[in-house]
Copies of this chain bind each other. A is one copy, B any other.
Amino acid sequence: MLLDETATGVFTIAATPFLPDGTLDLDSLDRMVAFYEEKGATGLTILGMMGEAGKLSEKESRIVIDRVVTRASVPVIVGVSAPGLAALKALADAAMDREAAGVMVAPPGHLRTDDQITGYFQMVAETLGETPWVLQDFPLVTGVQMTAKVCRAIFDACPTCVMLKHEDWPGLDKITTLRRQEAAGARRVSILCGNGGQFLLEEMIRGADGAMTGFAYPEMMADVVRLMQAGDEARARDLFDAYLPLIRYESQPGLGLAIRKHILARRGAIAHATVRRPGPALTPETLAEVETLIARQEARLAALG
């Protein structure tokens, strides 16, 4: 089951669970996969930034791929961004051999000009051969700014690029522009959105197909996407607003991952909130703030019915 441009719903960005000593926690990995599916994920994305991919050795990356693909009943996308094409290719091959649905690639941070960016992704596409892949557009972290024109040049040059992970900020008008290009005849791609879900409502209005991010309550994203696709915007907004104070709190760069792992552990999805070094530790003040936000969130959800 290979990824294609019809992908929709919620591809949760999966965390990578560790034991307190920093080694991989494979039992938690299994439990977490089940948790995400139970909460409505239509796909999983592993070894992304939130998955602490950069902190794993190549061997560990392969173990995670193997385990998740084996356990998941939904399509799995594997982040394979690497400083060079050889490492990218090696990881992509490992993923596709294990029957992943596709891979995801972010641009290396030194790319600046339009031609550098499109040139890079053409090499990526050649390197990947027939493997379907996701273009990750996350300028806040990569420092690489891709206009809608550049994204489209990549889609045109690379038929195997079937999805945009949209995480530009601001980026709503980019979705509108891409969908207009398609209305005018350009090839359709799936657009799933990141940014912690902060703009999910407006992203759906602009034409996104769903979410690809790691908010610790994936059911919010699944419900909002479903309601928006069903035309029930009012209900989608009520639900979204109920979660928003926590979405906002999780959106703190760097800290967000630690908060999400804390909440995933609190919800029983993983055994330990361990973040691999170097990574932030949550202060008692932060933990208290999270508790307050969760308590109020639960009250609002109860009131919504």
On A, residues with C-beta under 8 Å from B are 52, 54-60, 83-87, 89-90, 109, 112-116, 119-120, 123, 145-147, 149-150, 169-170, 172-173, 176, 198-199, 202, 205-206, 237, 240-241, 244-245, 248-249, 252-255, 276-278, 283, 285-286, 289, 296
Contact = CB atoms under 8 A, between A and B. Distances in A.
A116 B114 CA distance: 11
A150 B244 contact: no
Contacts of A198: 248
Contacts of A87: 54, 56-58
Given A173-B285, A278-B119, A112 B55 contact: no
A89 B146 CA distance: 30
Closest 5 CB pairs of A and B: A55-B84, A54-B83, A170-B252, A112-B145, A57-B86
Contacts of A285: 172-173, 176, 205-206
A114 B240 CA distance: 36
Contact of A253 (B59, B150, B169, B240): B169
A255 B147 CA distance: 16
A276 B150 CA distance: 24
A143 B176 CA distance: 30
A90 B252 contact: no
Contacts of A172: 252, 285-286, 289
Contacts of A119: 278
Contact of A90 (B57, B116, B276, B277): B57
Given A114-B113, A170-B253, A283 B123 contact: no
Contacts of A115: 114, 147, 149
Contact of A83 (B55, B248, B253): B55
B245 A241 contact: yes
Contact of A89 (B57, B85, B150, B252): B57
Contact of A109 (B109, B114, B205): B109
B55 A86 contact: yes
A170 B278 contact: no
Contacts of A248: 198-199, 244, 248
A176 B287 CA distance: 14
A214 to B, nearest CB: 16
Contacts of A240: 245
